[in-house]
Every structure is written in structure tokens, then in C-alpha cells.
């Protein structure tokens, strides 16, 4: 493989019955970058996310993460390898508190096994303490501390999106896949989320792959952008390069301004 990005997607294919959702898709995500994945509705972005993160088995092609092939592995192995995704529709655990939502994100917790659980709290005290500390730190970081004892179904949409990002961070991922993190949010909240993403990238050495519809935001925040249409990569490069690419203007930006 020529380049050595953190994530390499090569010639990915995914069909649903007769529908070709992803059709020979390629992309590279550089380490510590914020990379955008854009394309018109139905282009196959969510399907790419689901395939990278193990929710779908691809029908062809491969996904290499950090030098290791992860194609078609189950989600729990991919999370362990260091990739965590969020959902387009902000999925929290509605009948659990904000704080518990975060705690669930902790990976490799001994207390999540049945035997230590049966043995009692002492058997996993250390891990639980680490989880509580980590969650508490993220609460502060994402300014959710006030809501920590509220059930997630009481939160506003924006708060739920924040919670989902924070919960994904609990898994200590190297790469986070965010599916439309700003969709449906008022502009001030969008700015907040952009700030968080940039700060997290700086302070925690994290890499982001973001699907987003808001062109201004994406051009603004991303180091590099891949554009897809009808399941295929039609362009990739810096925001400048992509903005001026003819096929992109034709396929996507034109539609956007319509």
C-alpha cells in the first residue's frame, strides 16, 4: 500500500439486494486529521460508516486501520482496534442517566463480566473508579455536568449529540466517525460542536472522520475532504481543491445551492 494513513479504504463495495450503495469507494484518513466525507443524500456515506465500523459486512474491497486489516470484523473488535462511530440520529440510552450513558462507554472494564460481578464490587473496584473518573472528566469537558443525573430522554437534541460524542470518547478511540453531528442543530450549537471537535483533536491527539451536510462548516473545519456520489469517490483533497473540482461542483455543490 502506497500511502500510510491511519485508515485506508480500498475499492469498497456494498449491495442491498439489487441496490448498489457503495461502489468501489476509496479514501484515506491521515493520522490526527479532521477529514470530511461529503456527498448528496443517498450517496452512500452512512453505509460507508457502517461498513468501516463493522455493522455491515462489505461485499468487496478492504479496510485497513493502523496497518491492520479490519475488513468484515465484528464491531467489538473494531472498537477495540480503536474506531468508534456515532449515529446520524443521536442515539443515547434513553432510560439511563447522562452519567451512566458515559460509563457504559468504558471498554475493557472487568466489572462488565459476569464472574467479577458475581464476586461483588471489590472485584472490579479499580476499573470502576477509572470509569467514574474518566466520565466525570468528560462531563466537565463537554459542559454536561449539570445534567449528569438526568435521564437521556430528557435532553435536548443538541445535548444528546454532545453526549453521544462524549460517550464515544469514553472508548478511547484513535479514530471517531461522526455521522452528521451538526444536522438539525441551531447555528450556535454547531459552533460549539466545532469547537469541541477542534479542541479534542488538539488536546487528545484524536482523528476525526466526519459526514456533514453543512458545507461551510465542513470546509472550515476539515484538513482534507473526500467527496462521494452514487457510491463512488469522485474527488478528494484539501477543501480548496475540492471546492474547485468540476465534478464536485456539478454533482454536489450545484444541488446544494438549488
Which residue ranges make up the site for Mg ion (CB under 5 A)?
A: 46
DSSP state of 55: S
Q: Is 51 in the site for other proteins (CB under 8 A)?
A: no
Strand, coil or helix: 69 = strand
Residue 197 CB partners (closer than 8 Å, separation 6+): 34, 165, 178, 181, 208, 210, 221
Residue 6 CB partners (closer than 8 Å, separation 6+): 29, 30, 31, 32, 65, 66, 174, 175, 207
* Minimal CB distance residue for Mg ion: 46
Residue nearer to ligand ADP on the CB measure, 43 or 218: 43
Q: Pick one of ligand ADP, Mg ion, other proteins, none as the site partner of residue 141 (Cβ within 5 to 8 A by kind).
A: none
Residue nearer to Mg ion on the CB measure, 213 or 243: 213
227 forms beta bridges with 38, 235
Residue nearer to other proteins on the CB measure, 124 or 252: 124
Site for other proteins in 104-133 (CB under 8 A): 104-107, 109, 111-114, 117-118, 120-121, 124-125, 127-129, 131-133
Q: Is the dihedral of CA 92, 93, 95, 97 positive or negative?
A: negative
Cα 74 to Cα 86: distance, rounded to the nearest angstrom: 16
Query: What residues make contact with other proteins under the rule CB under 8 A?
Result: 16-17, 53, 55-56, 74-76, 78-80, 84-87, 91-97, 99-101, 103-107, 109, 111-114, 117-118, 120-121, 124-125, 127-129, 131-133, 136, 140, 145, 148-149, 151, 167-168, 170-171
Amino acid at each position: 500500500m502506497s500511502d500510510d494513513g491511519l485508515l485506508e479504504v480500498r475499492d469498497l463495495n456494498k449491495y442491498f439486494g439489487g441496490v448498489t450503495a457503495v461502489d468501489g469507494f476509496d479514501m484515506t484518513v491521515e493520522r490526527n486529521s479532521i477529514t470530511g466525507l461529503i456527498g448528496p443524500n443517498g450517496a452512500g456515506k452512512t453505509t460507508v460508516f457502517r461498513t468501516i465500523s463493522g455493522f455491515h459486512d462489505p461485499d468487496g474491497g478492504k479496510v485497513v486501520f493502523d496497518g491492520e486489516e479490519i475488513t468484515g470484523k465484528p464491531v467489538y473488535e473494531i472498537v477495540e482496534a480503536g474506531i468508534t462511530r456515532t449515529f446520524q440520529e443521536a442515539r443515547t440510552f434513553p432510560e439511563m442517566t447522562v452519567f451512566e450513558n458515559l460509563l457504559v462507554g468504558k471498554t475493557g472494564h472487568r466489572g462488565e463480566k459476569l464472574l467479577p460481578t458475581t464476586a461483588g464490587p471489590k472485584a472490579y473496584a479499580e476499573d470502576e473508579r477509572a470509569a467514574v473518573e474518566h466520565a466525570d472528566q468528560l462531563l466537565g469537558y463537554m459542559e454536561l455536568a449539570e445534567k449528569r443525573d438526568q435521564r437521556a430522554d430528557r435532553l435536548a437534541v443538541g445535548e444528546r449529540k454532545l453526549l453521544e460524542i462524549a460517550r464515544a470518547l469514553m472508548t478511547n478511540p484513535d479514530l471517531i466517525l461522526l455521522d452528521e453531528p451538526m444536522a438539525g442543530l441551531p447555528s450556535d450549537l454547531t459552533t460549539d460542536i466545532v469547537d469541541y471537535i477542534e479542541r479534542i483533536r488538539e488536546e487528545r491527539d484524536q482523528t476525526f472522520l466526519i459526514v456533514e451536510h453543512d458545507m461551510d462548516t465542513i470546509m472550515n473545519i476539515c484538513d482534507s475532504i473526500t467527496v462521494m456520489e452514487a457510491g463512488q469517490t469522485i474527488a478528494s483533497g484539501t477543501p480548496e481543491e475540492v471546492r474547485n473540482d468540476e465534478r464536485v461542483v456539478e454533482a454536489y455543490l450545484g444541488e446544494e445551492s438549488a
